[in-house]
Chains A and B, each alone.
Chain A
Amino acid sequence: MSQKPKIKELLDESACAHNKTRTQACNAPTPGATTGGCAFEGAQISLFPYADAAHLVHGPMTCLASSWETRATQTDWPGRDLTQMGFTTDISLSDVVFSGEEKLTKAIDYIMTHYSPEAVFVYATCVTAMIGDDLDLICKQAADKHGVPMVPVHAPGFVGSKNLGSRLGGEAVLLNLIGTLEPETTTPFDINLIGEYNVTGDMWQYAHLLDELGIRILSTLSGNGRIADIRCAHRARLNVIVCAKSLISLTRKMQERYGIPQVSLSFYGKRDTSAGLLAIAEALGNLDLIARTKALILREEAKLEEKLKPYRALFAGKKAVLNTGGNKTWSIAAALQDLGIEVVATAVKKATEDDREKARQTLGRDGVLMMNPGVEQAKLIEEKGAHLLLAGGRSLYTAIKKGIAFADVNQEKKKSYGGYEGLLNLAEDLKHALQNPVFTLAARRAPWEK
């Protein structure tokens, strides 16, 4: 039987709050008016962080050439970091005409001979899905031959969005890896971190705290992940979903299949980090653990407060407008508030109903939720007297025109803003933005234009 997941079933996720309100059309992108990545990219994002597995992209050059080494997902895997390597069959016209299956088999053999990974993820792409290369069969044959898991990932770009691709990546892991190995030992406090990719080392901002509490990260999908660990994931006591709605199908199925409960949380900003740690302790249900977690939170928050003191005066009375999407619409807002900055508006155009609700709660009654940030943000900066615009690069012009400081929200792809310590990174970057003369100088008119 084909391993290809049923896309319709995946799109119909009972655990999603907005499931009842969505229409079929949600999934169809509009030609000529579509932004955002494809399913293949989504699958890549969710699986590439396994540094001990090879990630082989079966397709033409665009798919890998523009995507490898793009994400700073960190690992302490002592072997060669295969996440930061690119493998692709780079199929040619003759492969399109005569099938790329033989090439794929040879490519897998080559990888096993030269790199001996713990597993190989084989990614279908639009072209190889169109020509009908049988990834399932090839992976099965290769697994038999080489004795390590070969995981076909059926998320060719044209089946849908990045979000769907992440789900498909999760499906591939569930079908091929989870439950295929038993852990050497188990503890009552074993958890899986789902959807934490350890971008810029985000996970390491809080992993040591979990460790101190005696909570063991049994496996991750997939930050700093190990194939051997995720194969044992079915023995965890709790699935912790970190900022990733896309993997909710996976955790629901793990709940049905293995009885593993789940919590969904974020480690962005002080309040979220504290609430997240406590939520894990409470879900694990041990009173002593809960008490110890509360004590740890008090200690960490006090430590952070101390370190934030030098920034308090600088941020006091400062107002910010935030223009981003997804869970960042509220999570960054909360982090800014933790720093003592008032968030007067946040964009919710690219956010789910759930995110909008959270944004409303975070900003309070007076905060503006922008449905059309491109038009609204400039006006709001003026009306509210904002000092800082946090947005993607496209909005830089707005900040310069209004003569206020600008910070690129995508900076978090280079530097961790996660956990307690990450908030200090954010504070430092915002301090630099507010103090930088560049934004007024860039707006200065030329002598011949005066």
Chain B
Amino acid sequence: MDALLALPPMYYVAMVAKVLVAFVFVLLTVAYATYAERKVIGFMQVRLGPMRTGPYGLLQPIADGLKLFFKEEIIPKQASTFAFLVAPLIALVPAFISFAVIPFGGNIEVFGYTIPLQIASVYDPQVGKVLDLNVGVLYILGMASLGVYGIVLAGWASNSKYSLLGGLRASAQMISYELAAGLAIVSIFLMSGSLSLNQIVADQAGAFGVAGWYLFRNPFTFLAGIIFFICSIAEINRTPFDLPEAETELVSGFCTEYSSMKYAMFFMAEYANMVTVCAVTTTLFLGGWQGPAFLPGWVWFVAKVYFLIFCCMWIRATYPRYRYDQLMRLGWKVFLPITLVNVVATALWVMVVG
């Protein structure tokens, strides 16, 4: 506690500013990701998407939010009230706080005080280095798994068969894909030798630009990157892995009984998770905020994240939903063995090539 209070006042100002900026950025991205998703899928289906609310439908997210905000709040009589109320929060909060360890830019200097553009970090002038959470990746994995509790709890507390099935599917899916995603990240640890995201990004700098990214470092990390991204999509329950809320079979899955703002919170959580997952993929595999120097680091970071978000939407517009047994087979029989072999192969590569 003393060590925390001993920091210069600039540290606290910078911290609050960073938190606000990152939070507002994620929130805005979440709002406009819904709009972008409808537009992108619309164009891919040779139609226009939202066009009526404001010019080119630009006010659509605001209209949707207002509509949901003023809707009636319904709590089913049979539901377990406390869990029912708290579930959307449990889903939403981990989606946002994962951003705390993601570096979204290089250091900036304000009034002679160096601020690293990563929330949970500080620049130590004595060592001349950025100190951040040295188990950042573990923290992200932990938060990602916490998010599923919200969904499971929502499914259980609603006391409805559809919700329960949705919640069960979410937990089973989460466990199957978390393993493969974790093993895919192990390849990155082998390359970087560090769990700190700041270190991982710094390691991907290199003089060759794109060639320095872990995705293109060697064939095994490339495979790991692809698998990590697919597993992440499965973890955040997006098409083609959206079984927990499969409309065609489970009404709306875990959020069947939810209405109004609580329903909106699940959707915010889903999109915030998408932003987070894309940011994590960017950091781990696409060189984080590294990029040609003519633009500041955060611009590259945002560009990469938005590109990955576009990929998520592209995938959603393309593929139908997996059947449940196909999903499990893909997780356990395809991705898990591949990533296991991949870890060994990456280790050999590191040993031989260096």
Q: A and B bound?
A: no
Interface residues in chain B, defined as those with a beta carbon under 8 Å from any beta carbon in chain A: none
